[in-house]
């Protein structure tokens, strides 16, 4: 709407009429067929005999599910869920202290810069 409630009138007409795009014929479309449909019944029956059913899985084959614990970074204070084995590996690398991956990268970079000696990070001293 134009200012003051006046209607805008226009005599514009399209000078060129664009033709409609051509229709795509269905002749060029192909139906897809799964490769499994070409397998014979014998092959499928042999596969069923060889493959163990999920109900018959041996308990020895199952992997042990590790419990996770919350570990708090002693550098930045961030908390992560980690397995006890991972926590012990990190503590063995950093003098018994657990630090997160981000702080570990920062410590590693500082150690590379200084080669040997004390490295300072926010509020902490690292050997």
Q: How far is CA 18 from the centre of its chain?
A: 47
Residue 18's pLDDT is 78
Q: Are residues 127 and 118 in contact, defined by beta-carbon separation less than 8 angstroms?
A: yes
Report the DSSP pairing between strands 119-121 and 79-82: unpaired
**What mean pLDDT comes out for the span 26-46?**
70
Domain coordinates in residue numbering, the chain: 69-126
Name the token pair of 34. 């799964």
Residue 23's pLDDT is 78
Output Rg (C-alpha) for the chain, integer angstroms.
35
Query: How far apart, in whole angstroms, are the C-alpha atoms of residue 39 and residue 27?
Result: 28
Runs of H (alpha helix) within the chain? 41-50, 84-93, 101-114
pTM over 0.85: no
Q: Are residues 107 and 121 in contact, defined by beta-carbon separation less than 8 angstroms?
A: yes
CA-wise closest residue to 100 among 83, 126, 124, 78 = 78
Mean pLDDT over all residues of the chain? 75
**What mean pLDDT comes out for the span 43-69?**
67
DSSP 8-state class, residue 95: T
């Amino acid at each position: 709407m134009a200012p003051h409630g006046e209607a805008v009138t226009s005599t514009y007409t399209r000078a060129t009429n664009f033709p409609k795009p051509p229709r795509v014929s269905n002749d060029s479309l192909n139906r897809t067929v799964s490769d499994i449909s070409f397998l014979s019944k014998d092959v499928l029956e042999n596969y069923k005999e060889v493959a163990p059913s999920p109900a018959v899985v041996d308990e020895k084959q199952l992997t042990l599910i590790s419990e996770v614990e919350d570990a708090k970074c002693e550098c930045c204070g961030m908390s992560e869920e980690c397995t006890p084995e991972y926590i012990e590996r990190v503590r063995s690398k950093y003098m018994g202290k657990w630090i997160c991956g981000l702080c570990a990268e920062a410590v590693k970079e500082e150690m590379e810069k200084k080669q040997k000696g004390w490295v300072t990070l926010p509020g902490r001293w690292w050997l």
